[in-house]
Amino acid sequence: MLIQNRGDLTYADVTPRGLYMGRRNFLLGALGTYGAVALWKRLPGWMAGAVTGSVPRPLGNLVPSPFSTTETATPAGYVESYNNFYEFGTDKADPSRNAKNFVTSPWTVSVEGEVAKPRQFSMDEILKLAPLEERIYRHRCVETWSIVVPWIGYSLSNLIKLVEPTSKAKYVAFESYYDPRQMPWASKAGIQIPYLEGLRLDEAMNPLTLLCVGMYAETLPNQDGAPVRIVVPWKYGFKSAKSLVKIRFVKSEPLTTWDMFRGFGGMPEYGFYANVNPHVDHPRWSQAKEHRLGGGLFARPIPTLMFNGYGDQVASMYAGMDLRKYF
């Protein structure tokens, strides 16, 4: 594939998905048990009653990435209709129903803090900042399911280098968009809103850390973090902040939404690092195995890999750390 020649293309100029391809055409009819299970494997959003309300747009001429796994991607219907996005509801099917009118244009991302060149990036600037790559990443969620997604974007380090972090910058804090008028469900989520996450600077600079603008060769659906998000494949899914509006470079470890959350019995459920580690259980379930979403009702769980299988690229960053303590 060739590197995209963007020219004067803007975020608003991308061909609407409805003109590019039919979104989904479903054949309705009497289904036996076997047929229903087979259709569920392919089209879970329809079976769950979810509505994919956003209209993703094609992103062409993508650069294939050497970081991609060779595993088969999870069918898009699952990834678009089975989401954690508490601003739009806490049930897995809520975001695809409730985010359909989420306004994502115009959009800017503010970069500030311990940097020599703080600035705001529009979506047009983000799209043109570096060649867009297709990266097929596996993901392990803190529940017992996992997915494989062909994300579209480029290494976050491309943006970081432009703003020139100072010697005081040791961590990067991320803030997701919050508007109570568009996200009234967030007040009942039981977590800190706006959603806050963070990484060490070296984690943010790792080439695997993706500034993501799409998936499945299209722009991001609203429920999956439109129009721009972070993707960190060796960490549990909640570290990958959605609908990003602010990046702050700070001196010390920033508080995150899940740092501040206390679950059953007042116990912390997730630590700052959130590296995939099959040897550290969640307070309410084991992390040793996972179920691949879309694998069918009777698919056997598979062993969870340390660092989600990305140890060769990231393990050196945690040399000498007790990963049971820093979880």
CATH no. for 11-21+31-142+149-265:
3.90.420.10
pLDDT of residue 252: 98
- pLDDT tens digits, 88-98: 999 999 999 99
pLDDT band for position 262 (50/70/90)? confident
pLDDT averaged over the chain?
Answer: 85
pLDDT of residue 265: 64
pLDDT of residue 309: 97
The residue extents of the domains of the chain are: 11-21+31-142+149-265
pLDDT band for position 303 (50/70/90)? very high
HEC profile for the chain?
Answer: CCCCCCCCCCHHHCCCHHHHCCCCCCCCCCCCHHHHHHHHHHCHHHHCCCCCCCCCCECCCCEECCCCCCCCCCCHHHHHHCCCCHHHCCCCCHHHHHCCCCCCCCCEEEEEECECCCEEEEHHHHHHCCCCEEEEEEEECCCCEEEEEEEEEEECHHHHHHHCECCCCCEEEEEECCCCCCCHHHHHCCCCCCCEEEEEHHHHHCCCCEEEEEECCEECCHHHCCCCEEECCCECHHHCCCCEEEEEEECCCCCCHHHHCECHHHCECCCCCCECCCCCCECCECCCEEEECCCCCCCCCEECCHHHHCHHHHHHHHCCCCCCCCC
Residue 205 has pLDDT above 70, yes or no: yes
Residue 289 has pLDDT above 50, yes or no: yes
pLDDT of residue 165: 98
- pLDDT tens digits, 43-78: 444 344 344 445 789 998 899 999 999 999 999 999
pLDDT of residue 60: 87
pLDDT of residue 54: 52
pLDDT of residue 12: 44
What mean pLDDT is predicted for residues 139-159? 95
pLDDT of residue 327: 85
pLDDT of residue 266: 65
- pLDDT tens digits, 2-52: 333 434 444 444 434 433 333 333 322 322 323 333 333 334 443 443 444
